[in-house]
Structure 1
Amino acid sequence: MSLLKTTALRRQYGELPVLKGIDLAVEPGEVVSIVGASGAGKTTLLQILGTLDRPDSGELHIAGENVFALNDRQLARFRNEQIGFVFQFNNLLPEFTALENVCLPGYIAKKDEKAVRQRAESLLTTLGLQHRLNHLPSQMSGGEQQRAAVARALINEPAIVFADEPSGNLDSHNAEELHQLFFQLRDEFGQTFIIVTHNEALAALADRTVTIRDGVII
């Protein structure tokens, strides 16, 4: 059974159709890249797959849940527990340390604080940031900030992680390290990733590349 499956997803803004019937299936432990020209619908699709936006029609199932049958409160809880996000600009809160940033989704989920902190420390150590636990984002390099953002995405052991241009703000060295990290996490934890990227090297590393053109998968 697919971990993620969409059926005929459609989305338009005003008179402009952006997604024109997207059918997609992703298996557990798969790393899938989504590519396409600017304006093709990649970000809109990622926002819908990540439940940040609702489609005009069509269905999305994640981990066996028909997610858009949930009300907004149920959907927010599902998102917190089952979905991780990595954004281009890391979105770490500047007033919190790396450890505190990583812990936040776990606290929001009302998990045991000690267990959340232990998992956050373990994740940051796995990602090579054991010496940055108590550093603010401004005291970390761009690559370190993005690895902290990856740890935050993983804190609640999500079914799937969505990444939107995750290496777009990094130099080539840090981008390569981040790309390899996704596959390390897949191998170690069986983590599933869907990654929107313009980076051809990252797209080529993925198990499968999905190309969107004019709102459809080709």
Structure 2
Amino acid sequence: MLKANNISKSYNDLQVLKNVELDLMNNEVVSIVGASGAGKSTLLHILGTLDKPDAGSLTINGYDVVALSANKLAKFRNSQLGFVFQFHNLLPEFSAIENVCLPGFISGKPDAEVKSRGKELLEILGIGARANHRPSELSGGEQQRVAVARALINDPNIVFADEPSGNLDSKNAEQLHKLFFDLRDQFKKTFVIVTHNEELAELSDRKVEIKDGSILYA
């Protein structure tokens, strides 16, 4: 599904990633772990096409994404990849359902189809009754579930999550972790999660550890 070969990335004189090699398969939860500054988030952003490597190749579902133009890459990202971040990144002026539906609207799908799918996802995630509430009216756990629904709205192959439970209390973090595995089983998605949470990392199908910009094991 995803193949990264000899990925390297530097910022000025600091080399953050060094010849990283990684393959991702269908229907697995992969945790990326390591100390702060090891290169975890940089790798996630490159795998998710949010940043480009200085060297190396990245193939996702047969597409050489490094070679795609900016416009084609944006369309590819919108249709095939989903993202969940630590601080939710929900638009405060929009309701939960409106936040969930935004990527679907951007993709050009019919509004009715997108809204129907958005409502369905919120129901599956247990917050259907909160669909018309704005983010400020939701708990942290509820906001993160809205972010997960948004990541799934376009039926992506891979969902990338950067410290998704880092801003949650232990109970909501545990529930979110369980949710990822339930969604893997229900929707047959691959989840790639940068985390400092050892419990989540140990539960994952695979744990990828990075140290000083290199993968120790995968």
TM-score, scaled to structure 1: 0.98
Identity of aligned residues (%): 63
Candidates 105, 108, 132, aligned match of 2:106: 108
Distance in 2 between residues matched to 1:43 and 1:128, nearest whole Å = 29
Distance in 1 between residues matched to 2:128 and 2:212, nearest whole Å = 44
Letter in 2 for 1:204: E
Candidates 45, 49, 52, aligned match of 1:51: 49
Unpaired runs of at least 5, structure 1: none
Written as runs of structure 1 = structure 2, the 5 A alignment for 1:109-148 is: 109-148=107-146
Q: CA deviation at 1:159?
A: 1.0
Candidates 2, 5, 9, aligned match of 1:4: 2
Which residue of the partner structure matches residue 186 of structure 2?
A: 188
Q: 1:38-63 CA distances to partner (integer Å, 9 max, x unpaired)?
A: 11000110110111110001011111
Q: CA deviation at 1:200?
A: 0.6
Written as runs of structure 1 = structure 2, the 5 A alignment for 1:1-218 is: 3-218=1-216
Aligned length: 216
Q: 1:128-149 CA distances to partner (integer Å, 9 max, x unpaired)?
A: 0111010001111000000000
Distance in 2 between residues matched to 1:98 and 1:34, nearest whole Å = 29
Distance in 1 between residues matched to 2:135 and 2:12, nearest whole Å = 39
List, as ranges, runs of 4+ consecutive aligned residues in structure 1 with deviation greater than 6 Å.
Answer: none
Q: CA deviation at 1:16?
A: 1.0
Distance in 2 between residues matched to 1:153 and 1:205, nearest whole Å = 22
Distance in 2 between residues matched to 1:130 and 1:155, nearest whole Å = 14
TM-score, scaled to structure 2: 0.98
Secondary structure of the corresponding residue to residue 11 of structure 1? strand
Q: 1:76-132 CA distances to partner (integer Å, 9 max, x unpaired)?
A: 111111110000000000000000000000000011110000000000000001110
Q: CA deviation at 1:64?
A: 1.3
Report the RMSD for the aligned CA atoms in angstroms.
0.5
Q: CA deviation at 1:191?
A: 1.0
Distance in 1 between residues matched to 2:49 and 2:156, nearest whole Å = 14
